[in-house]
Every structure is written in structure tokens, then in C-alpha cells.
Amino acid sequence: MNISLQGKRALVGGSSKGIGEAIAQQLAKSGATVTLMARNEKKMKAIISQLPTDNGQKHQYLDVDFSNFGAFKTKIASFFKQNSIDILVNNTQGPEAGGALEKSVEDYQKAFDLLFKSVVFTTEMALKHMQEKKWGRIINVASISVKEPLSYLALSNSIRAAVVTWAKSLAFDVAKDGITINNVLTGYFDTDRIAQLNTKKAKKMEIPVSEVREAMEAQVPMKRIGDPSEYGFLVVFLASEQAGYITGTNIPIDGGLLKSL
């Protein structure tokens, strides 16, 4: 099966590194024109210079701060006054790690702005063109923790669960317009985020970071951490014509880590 996204325009959040960057690369390789969206302008410029343009793509970037919703909202609204997209990948940096007893109401509000309000507003802006065109793909980067919460990620557990249930509701409303909305439940991937979490855990447990990594790998039935490019392959499929009958789903990509159905 050959997947072609030629002629499609994609907006990818958190795409200056890690999973977001890998998604952007695979979308571009499949022919899509990609707009990167993140905070690090220097990194985004470097990534764009390396993205393929074999199909005449004109990639661009949008510098935003997901943690400042007011400024983010202004930037996104301005972007959509001049641009429209066919594929939206909602992805942001994760909130601070920590257990439920360590977090205040203010912490949850910040996480809500970061993980939920930014996703809902960007989707709202993107939907108008998709509904007019009767075609669209929305993919939300979520986490396996919405099914099996991780005790040290209370903020992420809570707010990402809200995102996936909101997406399920919205998928029902826009399916008639040829728009699909799916959530990808992320397992352990070789990213800066995982490295940071492992470092914090190692410090707390007073053990080497290598031991934390080895223990993490041992939990996964495949006995390894995922490569971000593998994540990109899944997103490209969900963004394609071939995935047109898949919507409202939560798809784990975790090497078999989830134990629940």
C-alpha cells in the first residue's frame, strides 16, 4: 500500500523535536506540505531545511508558546486568517511531572490551558475549511495514561483523559463531513521528555538513570523503547485516504505495554 498525501496541508504541534518532529518528517515524505508549530524558531528553521520538497511543498513554521494560552490563541487565529489545513496533529509539551498530592488547583488550570484549551481552539479554527471541503484529518497525540494512569503524571493523566473524551464527542458530530478524529495513545518513546522524566525519577530514587531506562524497557513486552519514526508511520496512515473509515478511536502505540483492553 502506497500512501500519498500530495496536495494536503498539515499543521503539526510540538514539532521542533521528538514525536512531533518525527510526525512532520513522515508527513512531508508522504507529500504533504507541513507547517511546524513550536517554541524553538531556530530548531524549526533547521528542520524545514531538511524536509523533502519533491512534490513542490513549501513548508513553513509558526512559533508559539503553548504554555501562554492568550498569546497562543492570538497567533493561531492570525495563522488561520491566511491559511487553511487538511491535517491537524494536536501535540504539545507535557506538563510537569508529579503525583496528585503534589499538585494544586492552579497546576491543574495551567495543564488544562496547555493540553486541552490549546487543542480545542486549534481544532475549532481548522474545522471550518475541513467542513467546507468535506475532508479532514485530526490526530491528537495523547497517552496510554488515559487508560492506565501513571502515578507520577497526575496532570497529564487528568487532562489528556478530557481530550480523548472530547475528541470522541466531536468525532460523532463531524463524521458526516468526511472528517476523522483519532487519538494516539503514546507509550514509551526515545524522546527528550522520557529522558527528563527518567532523570527526575533516578534522582528521587537515588539510582543511575541507566537503571531507570532498563526498568522501563523491561516493562514493555517488546523489550525496547519506541523510535519516534514509528509513531510518524501511524500518523501518516491515519492522515491518509486509506484511513477514511477510522474515527473516534484511541489507538495505543506502546509495544504491547497496556494491559487493559
Choose between 97 and 162: higher pLDDT: 162
Q: How many structural domains is the chain composed of?
A: 2
Cell of 73: 490563541
Do the beta carbons of residue 88 and residue 123 sit within 8 Å?
A: yes
Question: CA-to-CA distance for 221 and 238, rounded, in angstroms?
Answer: 24
Do the beta carbons of residue 258 and residue 185 sit within 8 Å?
A: yes
- Asked if residue 72 and residue 20 are part of one domain, the reply reads yes
Q: Which residues of 241-250 are buried (b: 16+ CB within 10 A; e: fewer)?
A: eebeeebbbb
- What's the confidence (pLDDT) of residue 256? 97
- Asked if residue 216 and residue 185 are part of one domain, the reply reads no
Within a domain: residue 183?
Answer: yes
One-letter amino acid for residue 101 of the chain: L
- Asked if residue 115 and residue 221 are part of one domain, the reply reads no
- Asked if residue 212 and residue 180 are part of one domain, the reply reads no
DSSP state letter for 88 = E
From the list 10, 13, 17, the residue with the least C-alpha distance to 33 is 10
- Asked if residue 68 and residue 88 are part of one domain, the reply reads yes
Model confidence pLDDT, tens digit, residues 107-148: 999 999 999 999 999 999 999 999 999 999 999 999 999 999
- Asked if residue 88 and residue 179 are part of one domain, the reply reads yes
Identify the band that residue 94 occupies on the pLDDT scale cut at 50, 70 and 90: confident
Do the beta carbons of residue 130 and residue 136 sit within 8 Å?
A: yes
Mean pLDDT to the nearest integer, 76-81: 98
**CATH number of the structural domain spanning residue 20:** 3.40.50.720
Mean pLDDT to the nearest integer, 94-117: 95
- Asked if residue 152 and residue 37 are part of one domain, the reply reads yes
- Asked if residue 196 and residue 119 are part of one domain, the reply reads no
Question: CA-to-CA distance for 25 and 30, rounded, in angstroms?
Answer: 9
pTM (2 d.p.): 0.95
- Asked if residue 99 and residue 208 are part of one domain, the reply reads no
Three-state DSSP at 23 gives helix
Mean per-residue pLDDT over the chain, rounded: 96
Within a domain: residue 260?
Answer: no
Within a domain: residue 258?
Answer: no
Do the beta carbons of residue 15 and residue 22 sit within 8 Å?
A: no
- Asked if residue 217 and residue 176 are part of one domain, the reply reads no
59, pLDDT greater than 90: yes
- What's the confidence (pLDDT) of residue 204? 87
Within a domain: residue 1?
Answer: no
Quickly tell me which residue has 537515588 as its cell.
206
From the list 221, 253, 175, 240, the residue with the least C-alpha distance to 19 is 253
Name the β-bridge partners of 184.
141, 251
- What's the confidence (pLDDT) of residue 55? 87
219, pLDDT greater than 90: yes
Within a domain: residue 196?
Answer: yes
- Asked if residue 107 and residue 213 are part of one domain, the reply reads no
Cell of 20: 512531533
Give me the DSSP letters along 174-198. Answer: HGGGTEEEEEEEE--BSSHHHHHHH
- What's the confidence (pLDDT) of residue 197? 85
Mean pLDDT to the nearest integer, 68-72: 97
- Asked if residue 216 and residue 132 are part of one domain, the reply reads no
Model confidence pLDDT, tens digit, residues 157-215: 999 999 999 999 999 999 999 999 999 999 999 998 889 889 988 998 999 999 999 99
Within a domain: residue 259?
Answer: no
Within a domain: residue 4?
Answer: no
Within a domain: residue 2?
Answer: no
Identify the band that residue 100 occupies on the pLDDT scale cut at 50, 70 and 90: very high
261, pLDDT greater than 90: no
- What's the confidence (pLDDT) of residue 200? 86
- What's the confidence (pLDDT) of residue 207? 94
- What's the confidence (pLDDT) of residue 253? 98
Containing domain of residue 170, as a range? 9-189+227-253
From the list 48, 176, 183, the residue with the least C-alpha distance to 123 is 183
CB within 8 Å of 90: residues ≥ 6 apart:
13, 118, 119, 122, 123, 138, 139, 140, 141, 163
- What's the confidence (pLDDT) of residue 193? 86
Identify the band that residue 54 occupies on the pLDDT scale cut at 50, 70 and 90: very high
